[in-house]
Homo-oligomer: A and B are copies of this chain.
Amino acid sequence: MADKTGIWLIGARGAVATNVAVGLSALQQKAIGPTGLVTELPMLRSLPLAAWDQLVLGGHELRSGNLIDAAQAYAHENRLPSLELVKQCQSQLEAIDARIRPGVLFRGGDAIVREGPEIESPRAGIEQIKRDLLAFQSEHNLSRVVVVLLASTEPETPHTSLPDHWRELRLTLETNAACVLRSSSLYAIATLELGFSFVNFTPSLGASCAAIEELAIERNACHAGRDGKTGETLLKTVLAPMFAARNLEVMSWVGHNILGNADGQVLDHPDHKQAKVESKDRTLGKMLGYDPQSLVSIEYIKSLGDWKTAWDHVHFRGFLGAEMTLQLTWQGCDSALAAPLVLDLARLADHAAARGETGTLEYLASFFKSPLGQVEQDFYTQLLLLGDYAERITANS
């Protein structure tokens, strides 16, 4: 099948995107195996997902630079991917890099700086994004495009300040002063106005509000999000239901995360950190049915690079008042955990678009810390949603 799908990454030279680019190139060359890819599991393998060589990468990026340099610097700092593999992917990385366009920045927060001019209005920014996406589509003759947001976490946007309907929100896009949205939502709006699919892998707002959901349905577009569930929160949504299932009372749950990547540096700014911590912390009460004291910290420790270490201390009470503890230490390479999920989500959103699904793709909840339209936080319950979906599709095909 000659059908091609574009994956457009926002933050296209960041750590996750760099690993997506190297990883996809390596998969296309069969230089690596399927480890880490959920869509390569038996559960999903019967779905007619795009093959690796049907996928074309491009993206927006605020910073200048070069994808090969980024990959080498990343490999040097984090001891993976191997420099040999980066070399082996060189020509593909060059081609991807040539497709990267200057990104749009609007109210991004103090920690994020763009090289280049500001946009004139939110609407002007949206139109610029749409031009880039359409050029990408026509140049590579793409049947569909999935936009994946990987940009640095923005400060939170209070939901109370947002209009409930698209027809109202649309009007606020005409002037900078009227608009409370930030870049992430401009990308979402541009994507959905074109009927393309949008995946929000970050805690930023993106498409996560009623008004933009209306837009998605109006344009027959689908979207999913938000905040990829890669490490400590994944563990939390796996373990908390165990305490609930055994009627053990969680008295406190403390999680300290230390990491040294750019994400960590941005999160060191208090307003950006708040958005992240909120996203991680919301989950516990929902799974347990009550709110234990809980604490989540994320701290920037330069020497760790992209190797995030999380320590979790769970203090719980059992029968006869026994006070017990579970402690976890997780040492994971953040981008190597995130990158395959980005590819999985792009394939699954593309598959949904090909089937004409619209609005929030709730069955993708297991991929996200704050799943949209889906209050269930328990990982295995979320996984059943995905399995049921795959079974239903397969049974009907």
Interface residues, chain A, CB within 8 Å of chain B? 19, 22-23, 26, 32, 34-38, 40-41, 79-83, 85, 234-235, 238-239, 241-242, 244-249, 251-252, 254, 256, 258, 292-293, 295, 297, 299, 301-304, 309, 311, 313, 315, 317-333, 336-337, 339-340, 366, 379-380, 383
Contact = CB atoms under 8 A, between A and B. Distances in A.
Contacts of A366: 245
Contact of A37 (B293, B319, B323): B319
16 contacts: A23-B320, A35-B318, A36-B246, A36-B248, A41-B245, A85-B320, A239-B239, A252-B303, A254-B258, A254-B299, A318-B337, A320-B336, A320-B339, A322-B336, A324-B337, A325-B330
A247 B319 contact: no
B81 A320 contact: yes
A258 to B, nearest CB: 5
Number of copies: 4
Nearest to A292: B303
Given A311-B313, A326-B330, A32 B320 contact: yes
Q: Which 8 A-B pairs have the closest CB atoms?
A: A36-B319, A322-B336, A251-B303, A380-B380, A319-B340, A322-B333, A327-B329, A81-B320
Contacts of A40: 247
Given A254-B258, A309-B325, A380-B380, 18 more contacts: A32-B321, A35-B317, A35-B319, A35-B321, A37-B319, A41-B244, A80-B321, A81-B320, A83-B83, A235-B239, A251-B303, A256-B297, A256-B311, A258-B295, A318-B332, A324-B330, A324-B336, A325-B330
A322 B337 CA distance: 9
Contacts of A234: 242, 246
A80 B320 contact: yes
